[in-house]
Amino acid sequence: GGKPIDLRVATLPTVHGEKVVMRILDKNQALLSLQDQGFLPDTLERYERSFRKPYGTVLVTGPTGSGKSTTLYATLNVLNEVQRNIITIEDPVEYRLAGINQIQVNPKAGLTFASALRSILRADPDVLLVGEIRDRETAIIGIEAALTGHLVLTTLHTNDAASTPMRLLEMGVEPFLVTSALDVVLAQRLARRLCDRCKEPYQPSEEELLSARWAMETIDIGDWPTLHRAVGCSACGRTGYRGRFALHEVMPISEEIERLIIERRSVEDLAKVAQMEGMIPLRQDGLRKAAMGMTSIEEIFRVVT
């Protein structure tokens, strides 16, 4: 199509030959809006309410390849205004954004996430993006930045929103620091989008809905939703899927959740309270999107256990 594409290539020698992993970086992805990534209105409102604050920490979590960087770039696009001084620390810089000061870490030269973060705090930033919290030192400096009037966006590798505060505690961050600085946790996964040209609607049986535990979900989609299945055509390479979107789980840090963190309560306790306060779990968000025809129910249970 004539558009420039960046590639991140990693190779690994195996007994059967060289294993190559290539990640395709389309610069247009950096221009995606949050709505383009699959946010439903109620989930987006909960997330946006937190990152619109002038200071605090917004933490996006999920496994490798779950779209965390794309979500943070889309968030920066919302915040990117002339009067805001935005600085990022990344490893590597995946997309170049106009109007934003981007720094690439270089550990060989002594430029780590932690050392870069210390330096840029002297540059009077309004918004900081730290590509990843990899150790206690980076976590502490990021939290201190949030406590001194900066908005900090960063990522962590955890399975869901409720396990994220516990992961910070395991890294050695004191509970009072976590509760003082953390405003919201956004967990996400990527799911394949059904091909609009060939997807096939069908009426699921009661047995299928029960096997999917649909009856246990509080989803306002009607008792007998029409679902869609993958078929395959020339437009989607016979896979039945074309493109991807994200499933989301947004957990604002309320006073009750702060109390549970201080008490070092279990992940299950945090998740239970968060859902009572309105958090829609990843699987439930996925089921809503399956009911909307965005993907198949099989795909949801492939990406969310």
Give the Cα separation of 215 and 92 in Å (integer).
44
Assess whether pLDDT exceeds 50 at residue 215.
no
Position with higher pLDDT, 301 vs 233: 233
What confidence tier does 213 reach under pLDDT thresholds 50, 70, 90? low
- Which residues, at least 6 apart from 289, have a Cβ–Cβ distance to it below 8 Å? 38, 40, 191, 245, 247, 295, 300
Report pLDDT digits (tens) over 16-34.
Answer: 999 999 888 776 666 678 9
Residues with Cβ within 8 Å of residue 274, at least 6 apart in sequence: 161, 162, 251, 257
- Residue 5: pLDDT band with limits 50, 70, 90: confident
* pTM for this prediction: 0.89
48-62: per-residue pLDDT in tens?
A: 999 999 999 999 999
Task: List the domain boundaries for the chain.
Answer: 5-303
Which fold is adopted by the domain 5-303? Rossmann fold (3.40.50)
Closest CA relative to residue 259, chosen from 248, 269, 247: 269
241 pLDDT exceeds 60? Answer: yes
Written as one letter, the residue type at 251 is M
